A = this chain, B = another copy of it.
Amino acid sequence: MKKADKHQKILVAATKVFGSKGFFSARISDIAKEAKVADGTIYLYFHNKYDILLTLFEEEIAKLIVDIKAALAQEEDPRRKLYIFALHHLKLVIEKKELAEVLQMELRQSSDSVKEYRITKFVDYVNIISGIIHQGQKSGIFRPELKPGIIKRAFFGALDEMSRLWILNSDHSYTVDDTADEISSIFLNGISLPT
């Protein structure tokens, strides 16, 4: 097995374990077992437990941002863009359930030193939304008096809360498509100028 493979294998295992138990309750030996390597092997690829988490963020979140930006680049209309963002975000949550669980939990932890880093990445992601809102206001589609800084949070929060529902319970009463439809519909009605 190539070196890069094992690095990846450990990350995948760690994602699973962090996702299900949380960073602090996760044991290195849990991760090792999940990855089918010895405890010590992990330290050949990562400096320490914390480094595993950081690498996870670094490598995976960056991918998400690239992904969603690519999907949005296809589209001009800000109303459509908002819908696409919702759909894409929710799809990711379903497809990468374990990663989503780690994000859900760890983004909320106020562990000082990390906080900085995490928030930087995170802000990049959420700012995609305010960009869309801003564009829509400039072109006279969205109500100009609304504050993009609040809307982006509200919109992201709405999506994120649906993720939590899916992740923490295993509730699937609502499909991804229905949810994306409904949430973007509420917001589009809520923020659009009357025609």
> Which A residues contact B (CB, under 8 angstroms)?
19-22, 24-25, 101, 104-105, 108-111, 115, 119, 146-147, 149-151, 153-162, 164-165, 167-169, 173-174, 178-179, 182-183, 185-191
Residue on B nearest A164 in the bound complex, by CB: B108
How many whole Å from A151's CB to the nearest CB in chain B?
7
Given contacts A20-B110, A24-B24, A189-B191, 12 further A-B contacts (CB under 8 A): A101-B110, A104-B108, A105-B108, A105-B110, A110-B168, A149-B174, A153-B165, A154-B162, A157-B157, A158-B158, A186-B187, A187-B190
Q: Chain B residues near A179 (CB, 8 Å)?
A: 150
A157 pairs with B146, CB closer than 8 A: no
How many whole Å from A49's CB to the nearest CB in chain B?
12
